[in-house]
Amino acid sequence: MDVMKPIASKDIPLGKEWLYEVKYDGFRCVLHWEKNREIKLISKNKNDLTPQFPEIVAFCREKSESIKKLLPVTIDSELVILNNRYQSNFSSIQKRGRLKNKDSIQKAATNRPATLLAFDLLQLSGKDLSKKPFEERKKQLTSFFDKAEIRRDLWNRIGYIEAFENADELWKIIFDHKGEGMIAKRKKSSYRAGKAHQDWYKIKNWRLIHGFLTAYDSKNGYFTVQVYDEQEQYTIGKCKHGLNDDDFDTVKKLFIANGEKKGVHYSLPPAICAAIHTLDIYQGELREPEFERIAPELKPEECTKERLQLDLAMLPEIIDFANTDKLYWPDVPLTKGNFLAYIREISPYMLPFLNNRALTTIRCPDGVNEESFFQKHLPSYAPEFIKGIGKGEEKLIVCDSIETLLWFANHGALEFHVPFQHVNSNQPKEIVFDLDPPGRDEFSWAITAGLIIKQLLDDLQLRSLVKTSGNKGLQIHIPIPEGSMTYEDTGVFTQAIAYTVENQHPDLFTTERMKNKRQGRLYIDYVQHGKDKTLIAPYSTRKTTDGTVATPLYWEEVTEDLRPEMFTIENVVERVQRIGCPFQDYDTAAMDQNLDLVMNLIR
C-alpha cells in the first residue's frame, strides 16, 4: 500500500480541527500483523524490512496468541532507534537498515533494539479503517494498545505516539528534547496515499547555524560552508537551497568573477557569511541544509567551531549567555561554552532525575580551580521561571525545566545534587549505595564492591543500576515505587548489605564514617541514604580538573578496564546517543521492582 505523506510547512496550522504529533527521524514503516503470526514490516518504498528487525517481529509473535480477536491489524508507524522519548537516532537506524548478515543483525537488535512507533491504525480485526476520520483511527489505536496489554509508552518494541491538542505544548517538548519536528494532522482527515491532500503537514525543528562560504561548485550549484577552528578553516558541509534567485545569482557571480578556478570549483578567501537552517551535522555533512539568509553583518572570524557548537545546541533565548570563552577546566582545557553545550545536549537525560526534587548546586563561577560554594536556597535575583518550595530566604530550588537547568549552568553551577525523595514526600523513591575509594588509584576496589553488591541484589530479585560518581567511585541505584518503603526500612536494608560486603573483605572495605579511621580502605556509604541527604545527579559534571561526569553505565561495562576519567563532557553526549542511556527506563524499573524478599528480610 502507498502511505499518506505529510507536506512540508514553515508554519504550524492552528485551530481546534488539528492534532499534533512528534516527528521522528527513522524509517516510515507499515506493520502488517496477521492471524497466522506472520509479521511484515514494509517501508514507504515497499521494501521488506522484516529481516533487519527481528526484535519487533519477536515482540509481535509473543503477543499474537493473546490478541487473536484483534488480528489482522495494519499499523502505520516510524521505525526508530530512540535516543530519548522525543528524539531518535538517525545514524543508528541507517546502520541497522544496511545490515544483511543475520548474526550482525541479531547482535545489533540485542545491543540497541529498535522501536516501532505506532501513530495510525489502518486495519483492525480485518476491517478497513482508512476512510474513518484520523481522530477516530487514533482512538481505535489507543484501544488496540490497551486491549493488547501493550504499555502506551515509547520504550516497548512497539511504542505509541501520543497526539496533542495544544501545538505550543508539544513544540516546547520537541524543542527541549531537540526532536526533529512536528506533524500536524486534521482530525477529520481520511487516510489517502501520497501528498494529494491538505490534511497532514510537517514542521522541522531547525537549528540556525552561522558559517562562511569558501567555494562554489558550478556543476551542482552547491556552496562549501566553513567555520574557523582556531586559525584553521574547517568544513562543516555544503548548502544550495533557500536563497531567492537574486541572492543566489549575486553570490554565484561573486565566486565566478573573483574566485580561483580549479575544474568546476571556484574558491574565495573567507568573506561571505551566511545563516543556515539545518537539522544537524552527520558524517561531515549538514543535514537538510537551507540558507536562511546571507549575513553581511557577520565577520568570518565570528564564525567559529565554538559558536557552531552553541548554535547546534539550541540554547533558549530567554537566558543571556555571556563569557562563553571563560576557561572552566583549564587543565583540559574546556570552556564555559563547552559546558553550556554539554548541559543543553544532556538535559533530556538529566532533567528526569532533577524534576520535582530539591536541588543543591556547587557553583564555581570562575572554574574548578577558583572559589566555589554550595547553594540550596533560591537566590533573590533568580528569574520568575525558576520554581521554589517554601518561603523567603529558605525557599528550596526545584529544577524542572531546561531554562532552569541552563540558568544555573550559566551562573557556574558545575555540580547538581538531589535527595532521594520528591519535594513534597517523606519517603524515598530510590535506594543508593555510594562506593567511595580513597583515590582513583583504588577505583578497582569500587568495581569489586559493586559486583558483590549486584550479586546480593540479584539474589533478592532486585533490579539495580550503576553509575560512576564522576570523581573516584561508583554508585549503585535501586529504583523503588514511591511509598513502598520508608527511610527506616531502607536504613535497615542498606546497613545489612553494607555490613555483609564489609565482612567479606574487611581488608578492602569499611563502613567507618570517620576518614581518619578508615585505614586507606574503600568506604561503603550507606548512611548517606537518608531523608533530605543528597547525591550527585546522573549526568552531572563534577568539580574535578578533567571535566568528568557522573555517568550511568550498563553492568557489563563494570570490568577491570573501567576508569572514571573515561567519561567527560567531551564524550558523554556522543556515548549516550551511540549506546543509549542505561537509566532510560528508571521509572519503569521502579514500578516493576519486586520488593517481597527485601521486605521479608527487613521484617
Signed CA dihedral, 316, 307, 296, 289: sign only:
negative
Question: Which of the 8 DSSP states describes residue 48?
Answer: B
Q: Could you tell me how many helices (H) and strands (E) the chain has, helices first?
A: 14, 34
Which secondary structure element, helix H or strand E, spans residue 70, and what is its range? Answer: none
**Locus of grid cell 527541549:** 176
Strands 18-23 and 334-335: unpaired
The one-letter amino acid code at 74 reads T
Task: In whole angstroms, give the CA distance from residue 391 to residue 393.
Answer: 7
The one-letter amino acid code at 391 reads K
Q: 502 — phi, psi (to 5°)?
A: -60, -40
Find the DSSP H helices in 165-226: 167-176
Peptide bond into 72 cis (omega under 30): yes
Task: In whole angstroms, give the CA distance from residue 328 to residue 370.
Answer: 9
**Locus of grid cell 477529520:** 188
**Contact of 353 with 372, CB cutoff 8 Å:** no
C-alpha cell at 283: 558524517
Nearest one of 366, 487, 355 to 431, comparing CA atoms: 487
- What is the rounded radius of gyration, in angstroms, for the C-alpha atoms of the chain? 27
Q: Which residues, at least 6 apart from 469, have a Cβ–Cβ distance to it below 8 Å? A: 434, 436, 475, 536, 542, 550, 564
**Contact of 581 with 88, CB cutoff 8 Å:** no
- Catalytic annotation, pick one of 23, 178, 336, 429: 23
C-alpha cell at 7: 507536506
Q: Quick check: is 238 catalytic?
A: no
C-alpha cell at 47: 521494501
Dihedral of CA atoms 553, 554, 555, 559 in degrees, nearest 10, equals: -70
Task: In whole angstroms, give the CA distance from residue 199 to residue 189.
Answer: 6
Catalytic residues: 23
